[in-house]
Amino acid sequence: MTDLVTGPHQTDTPEPALDAGSGDTDAPAYEWAREEPAPKKRHLGLWIGIPGGALAAVSVVASLVLIAPGTAVAGVPVGGLTVGAAADALQARLASTTLDIETSAGTVTVTGSDLGASVDARALAETAFAAHPMWNVTQWNSAPIDADVTIDAVVAEESLRTAAGDAYVDPVDATVAFDPESASYVATPAVTGEGLDLETVRVALEDAFSSGTGTGALDASITPVEASVTTAEAEGAVATLNGILDRVGFYVGEERTVPVDRAVAASWLTVVDSDGQVALSVDAAAIQATVDTLPSLVDRAPVDATVVTNSSGEVLQELIAGAAGRTLGDTSGVADAFAAQLAAGNAVYQLPITEAEFATTTLHRYADVNLSTQRATFYENGQVVQSWAISSGTDATPTPTGNFTVFAHVRTQNMGCGPTSSYCTENVPWVTYFAPDIAFHGAYWHNNFGQQMSHGCLNMPVDQAKWAYEFLATGSEVSVHY
């Protein structure tokens, strides 16, 4: 008998097992094979649908952060890039952009990196994304965005000099120096050099960068290269320095109490180039040598004044000028302070002093002329100083009486000598006028003093007339009486 098998041959409905209690006890017992469980349903649609949705979500997110396809900044494609990646691409392209420059020495090639070139890559990338985001399909393949390229002048100059040295002639700085012969500072003019025009190079690099090819060419444009220290700057420094030498010194108020020799002052100063500007360096230690001598030059006792006055006390003449006494104060910081002033262009140093007032002696001087006795007497503060015989006017030409004041002093003059005058006396000395056409004066032509002899003036011996001339000030009183 063929064995029964389980599996695909079984029927969907099992038949009942043979009755074990049948009469045929020797017959073998049989049972049906177990039914296989029905296969599970496959949910392929569910598992396939989940990855597809995720991809769609990623695409949506990407469209929110990427720049639209076909977008270019200065010839550099940035479509499909993030802002950061676009910025990196712009800077990398600029750094590798090459420029062939035709010079007198041949063609030289430099890169954007050599020239220290830069763009505001981040801002350009952000502008590109803001104007052309990927999600906005209307902005795909839009017009390119321009970029402004800058170069580092110092880096570019160094690179171009290295590459095209023959195209450069170095400028010569103007100089400033002290001339001992004239005791003044003088300037030596600057000499202008030559070099490649950096702006022309920058524009050519910008064009090469924006072209999309990353290369460009330029015929070298030579431009003047100014010296770091120009002639105008040197001449300005000379004017300042000579102004310092004109005024340098130690002052008490407006008085330059201790002038400083121009050559000595120049030895304190060193002219230096500070970042292309003329500046001063001042040696405080050298100034100290002069500061050490100040006490002996500044300290002094008061000088009392002596003045001539009239009876009202009005000062008519200063015979001795008064001067306050002074004592120099602490000088421990003077050298450093003066050095700082000089470096700033201030050559007037005000000394620290203590003053002592001076006294004033007043001398009331006047003259009394007695025509009866033919005598002139000179007083000072009520005391007789001198008294001499004089010769006054004759009865025909009398000397006027009254109270007068001196109004003029004439060292020598001719008297009379006019076309209508009845006399002429030349070279009359020491004339002191106190009334119209009336004066004390010397008379060298006679020796008859004490007698009326003149045309109205008061004749005196020449030496006495000189004394009166010097004794009486303009404004001194003269009393003439009998």
How many whole angstroms separate alpha carbon 56 and alpha carbon 61? 9
Q: Which residues lie closer than 8 Å to 415 by C-beta, 6 or more apart? A: 423, 424, 425, 426, 428, 441, 455, 457
How many whole angstroms separate alpha carbon 457 and alpha carbon 333? 66
Contact between 188 and 175 (Cβ < 8 Å): yes
Q: Which residues lie closer than 8 Å to 373 by C-beta, 6 or more apart? A: none
- Summarised one tens digit per residue, pLDDT across range 108-136 is 999 999 999 999 889 888 888 888 898 88
Interval 243-248 mean pLDDT? 96
Question: Can you read off the two tokens belonging to residue 201?
Answer: 């190079």
How many whole angstroms separate alpha carbon 127 and alpha carbon 122? 9
User: What pLDDT, on a 0 to 100 scale, did the predictor assign at position 37?
Assistant: 53
Instruction: Express as a percent the part of the chain with pLDDT over 90.
Output: 63
- Summarised one tens digit per residue, pLDDT across range 395-444 is 999 999 999 999 999 999 999 888 888 889 999 999 999 999 999 999 99
Instruction: Locate CATH 2.40.440.10 in the chain.
Output: 363-481
Question: Can you read off the two tokens belonging to residue 78?
Answer: 């940035």
Question: Can you read off the two tokens belonging to residue 63?
Answer: 């469209």
**Amino acid at site 128:** A
When the candidates are 3.40.50.1240, 3.40.50.620, 2.40.110.10, 2.40.440.10, the CATH number that belongs to 363-481 is 2.40.440.10
Interval 201-208 mean pLDDT? 91
Sorting pLDDT into bands at 50, 70 and 90, what band is 293?
A: very high
Pick from 24-28, 36-40, 219-223: least confident: 24-28
User: What pLDDT, on a 0 to 100 scale, did the predictor assign at position 22?
Assistant: 40
pLDDT at 475 over 90: yes
Instruction: Locate CATH 3.10.20 in the chain.
Output: 248-358
How many whole angstroms separate alpha carbon 186 and alpha carbon 242? 9
Interval 46-69 mean pLDDT? 60
User: What pLDDT, on a 0 to 100 scale, did the predictor assign at position 405?
Assistant: 98
CATH 1.10.10 for the 248-358 domain, yes or no? no
pLDDT at 5 over 50: no
Sorting pLDDT into bands at 50, 70 and 90, what band is 48?
A: very low
- Summarised one tens digit per residue, pLDDT across range 322-365 is 999 999 999 999 999 999 999 999 999 999 999 999 999 999 99
User: What pLDDT, on a 0 to 100 scale, did the predictor assign at position 248?
Assistant: 97
How many whole angstroms separate alpha carbon 93 and alpha carbon 204? 15
Taken as a whole, the chain contains a residue count of 482
